[in-house]
Amino acid sequence: MIAMADRTQVRSQGVSDGAAVLSALHGAYERGWQPADLLHITRRSLSAPEARLAVWAILHDARLSHAPARASRAWCEQLTSIAAMPGVDTPAESGPLHRTALSYLWRHLPRLPAECAPPSRWPRRRAEAEQVWAARVDAQVAGRVRGLLAKAERSDYPEEAETLTAKAQELLSSHALGVAVTRAHTRGQLRIEVQSRRVHLDNPYLKEKAQLLSEIGRANGVRTVWFSKLAMATTVGTPLALAQVELLYASLSAQASRAMREASRHRTSPSSTAFRRAFLYGFAVRVGERLRQADRRASDSVMAEGRITVADALPTLARQSAAVDAELTLLFPAVREIRSRPIDSAGWFANPVAASHATLAGETRWSSEALISA
């Protein structure tokens, strides 16, 4: 599954040099961190040499522990992505200060809720029957959705982009409802599968990006917890819903950035950070509303056409929502809402889509789904 043997033949740095780094890596893994998490926090906290050393340590340890044959598929997918990064074949040159800094960072990372088993709990060999860790959107549906989102990203008209994105949400919602009801019929009252997935965000405008992620999640039955100090969010939902959120977030992030650049370009004075933050916040709030409207239209349409009955749909959705809430409470027993600061009114109303949302800029709040760990 992972062609790492040929990709990670890097020069050994010696037992004494690498032992501290590998020991810190093992400790972080046991506290709930995964390879992609560690690379994200390293890049955010330290410099390029430490990041290269982190890549070496992660892949070197994966070979030593035979991770491709033992780790969960979630873990292996992360290793595959890291192994495919440019420059992996180049030895990680680092001095004592770099190794000390990386070891110190990894040793002092907080504990995170475990999303999959750490190395100490891996079997001798992963069962081939293990299901793929995240459900995939049906290929035909995904193709249509990607086509709509690609058009939205290219559109020069915000209203058109919003309409295309809403249509993509309708397709995803119809598909998800059909899958949920079918599974309920075939599996009876068996426990609904709920997973969590971490999303890594990059500067700038971290809170605004987290808000967009949260709004997309709400429209798809996904809850979001935001860790501001780590620049990471955790999404909690069914595997299919998490895949849908990932698909939409990638496109809407690009749409938001493009719309912000266009709004800034048409200003007579240089756009301030406050202006851009307000613009992105308004974009997230309005898009969230439209996605939820699209989700409701899709559900109503499916039931009106008789493809799924109300008696089947409503109990299934209620059980699914309850299962997600229960998992959220289990993973994060202490969370609080984020309240926004007053935002720049010029940035809010510069977005023609967001401006149609009649809320005073100084009174806006973060959605109740946008949570931060206590």
**Over the stretch 228-251, which tens digit does the pLDDT of each residue have?**
999 999 999 999 999 999 999 999
The pLDDT-based confidence of 87 (bands split at 50, 70, 90) is confident
Which pLDDT does position 275 carry in this prediction? Answer: 87
**Which residue's structure tokens are 């509303």?**
289
pLDDT over 60 at 225, yes or no: yes
Which pLDDT does position 5 carry in this prediction? Answer: 38
| pLDDT mean over 306-325 | 91
Bridging pattern class, strands 370-373 and 223-227: parallel
The C-alpha atoms of residue 232 and residue 173 are separated, in whole angstroms, by: 26
pLDDT over 80 at 89, yes or no: no
* pLDDT (tens digit per residue) in 7-52: 344 344 444 457 999 999 999 999 999 999 999 999 999 999 999 9
The C-alpha atoms of residue 209 and residue 212 are separated, in whole angstroms, by: 5
List the one residue out of 355, 359, 367 whose CA is nearest residue 159.
355
Residues 198/199/200/204 CA torsion (nearest 10 deg): -140
Determine contact, residues 280/205, Cβ cutoff 8 Å.
yes
Q: Is the whole model's pTM more than 0.75, yes or no?
A: yes
* pLDDT (tens digit per residue) in 252-284: 999 999 988 888 877 766 668 888 888 999 899
* pLDDT (tens digit per residue) in 155-177: 998 889 999 999 999 999 999 99
* pLDDT (tens digit per residue) in 69-79: 999 989 999 99
Displacement of CA 196 from its chain's centroid (Å): 9
List the one residue out of 58, 66, 12, 16 whose CA is nearest residue 37.
58
Determine contact, residues 248/214, Cβ cutoff 8 Å.
no
pLDDT over 60 at 347, yes or no: no
**Which residue's structure tokens are 């290793």?**
79
DSSP 120: G
Determine contact, residues 241/222, Cβ cutoff 8 Å.
yes
The C-alpha atoms of residue 194 and residue 223 are separated, in whole angstroms, by: 11
